Amino acid sequence: MGETPVIGFIGLGFMGHGMAKNIRQAGYDLWVRGRSNRTPIDSLVGMGAKEAESPRQMAEVCDIIHICLSNSPQIEAVMHGPDGILAGARSGLVVIDASTADPASTEALAAELALKGGSFVDAPLGGTPVQAEAGELIAMVGCDEEVLEYIRPVLECWAGSITHIGPVGAGHKMKLLMNFIGLSYGALYSEVAVLGAKVGIAPETLRRVIAASRMGNGFFDTFMAYVVDRNRDSHKFSIENAAKDLGYINDMAGNADVMNIMAGAARQYYTHAMATGHGQDYVPYLSDLVAALNGVDLARFGETD
C-alpha cells in the first residue's frame, strides 16, 4: 500500500459529488464510478479523476474505496458478483460505506471483506448537499481504532466532525437513531402544521413561534421553508429514502426486541406517500399529503399571518 492512498468513490449523487470533489482537491488520486447521470462524473474527471469500468477494477487499483448509495441492496450489488469489489479485493483494502444502510448487512459484508484481508468501515453522514460541497459533513464511524487513524486524513477532506461510534456496524446504528428522530419530526411537523391550519393558526405563525423557541432546530427550519415558502429544494431528502430508513429502523428495533410504537407510526405516513406515488418527492412534501387527508390546502396559508 502506497504512502499516499489511492481513493475510489462509488455513488456521485447529492452528497457523493461534493465528497469526491473535496477528496480530489486535497490532492489524492481519485477513481470514480457513477450511474447514468454523466454530469457529476464528467465534473470529477475534469478535475483529474479517472473513471473506473467496474467496482472490481476500482478494488484492484485503489487503497480506500468510498460507497455512497441509497440502500443495502445497492451496496451488496457493488460488493458481490464477478465485477464486484470483493472480486478485486486484496489485503489492506479499506471500504468506507458512507450510505445509510442496514447494520446487519454491514456486519455481514465486513466479515466477507475480512476474509480477503480487507477492512469494512461504516461512516454514514449527517448534513446537507451544501455541507458536502463545503467539506463540513458529520461522519459517524464504525471500525477499529487503527483503521480509523489510517483513513482519518481522507475523512477529513469531507467531514467537519468525525465521531468514532464503535466497532463495524455501530456507525449505521447511530445514523438510524439520528434518522429516527429526523423522520419522526417530518411526520410530527406535518401533523402540527395541518392541525394548526385547521384551527386557524397559519404555518407562517407556527414557524415564527417555534423557530424562536427551544423547540426550533435546523430540520424544522428546512422543513418549514417548504411548508411556508414552498421552496421545494429546501430539504433535499427523498420520501423513498426516508421510507427505506424507517424500514431499517423498525427492523433494528425488532432484532433488538424493542417496542417501537413511534417508529412504526412514523413509517405509516411514508409508506402511504410511497403507495400514492410520491417516493421521489422530498420529505417536507409529506405535509401536503397529510393536509390532503384532512381536507386542508397548506399552500393557501403561505403568505398569511
pLDDT (tens digit, 9 = 90+) per residue, 31-45? 999 888 899 999 999
Question: pLDDT at residue 304 above 60?
Answer: no
Last residue of a domain, one of 167, 198, 216: 167
Write out pLDDT tens, residues 39-64: 999 999 999 999 999 999 999 999 99
CATH number at residue 114: 3.40.50.720
Report the mean per-residue pLDDT for the chain: 95
Same domain assignment for residues 106 and 194: no
| Residue 305: band (very low, low, confident or very high) from pLDDT cuts 50, 70, 90 | very low
Determine the distance from the C-alpha atom of residue 220 to the mean position of all C-alpha atoms in its chain, rounded to a whole number: 18
Same domain assignment for residues 162 and 19: yes
Q: Are 236 and 280 spatial neighbours (Cβ–Cβ below 8 Å)?
A: no
Question: pLDDT at residue 182 above 70?
Answer: yes
Same domain assignment for residues 77 and 146: yes
Closest to 305 measured CA to CA, from 228, 224, 202, 213: 202
Give whole-number Cα distances, 124 to 70, 97, 138, 168, 305, in Å: 11, 7, 8, 12, 39
Same domain assignment for residues 179 and 32: no
Same domain assignment for residues 159 and 259: no
Catalytic residue among 21, 173, 175, 244: 175
Q: Cell numbers of 281, please?
A: 418527492
- For residue 114, being part of any structural domain is answered with yes
Same domain assignment for residues 161 and 178: no
Same domain assignment for residues 116 and 210: no
- For residue 1, being part of any structural domain is answered with no
50 is catalytic: no
| Residue 3: band (very low, low, confident or very high) from pLDDT cuts 50, 70, 90 | confident
The domain tally of the chain equals: 2
Range of the domain at 190: 173-301
Question: pLDDT at residue 272 above 80?
Answer: yes
Same domain assignment for residues 160 and 67: yes
Q: What is the mean pLDDT of residues 142-166?
A: 98
Last residue of a domain, one of 121, 148, 167: 167
Question: pLDDT at residue 208 above 50?
Answer: yes
DSSP state of 283: G
Q: What is the mean pLDDT of residues 212-223?
A: 97
Same domain assignment for residues 16 and 153: yes
More confident residue, 180 or 300: 180
Closest to 32 measured CA to CA, from 86, 87, 78: 78
Last residue of a domain, one of 167, 191, 206: 167
Same domain assignment for residues 161 and 177: no
d(CA 127, CA 136): 8
CATH number at residue 212: 1.10.1040.10
Residue 81 Rama label (left phi>0; alpha psi -120 to 50; beta):
left
d(CA 149, CA 268): 41
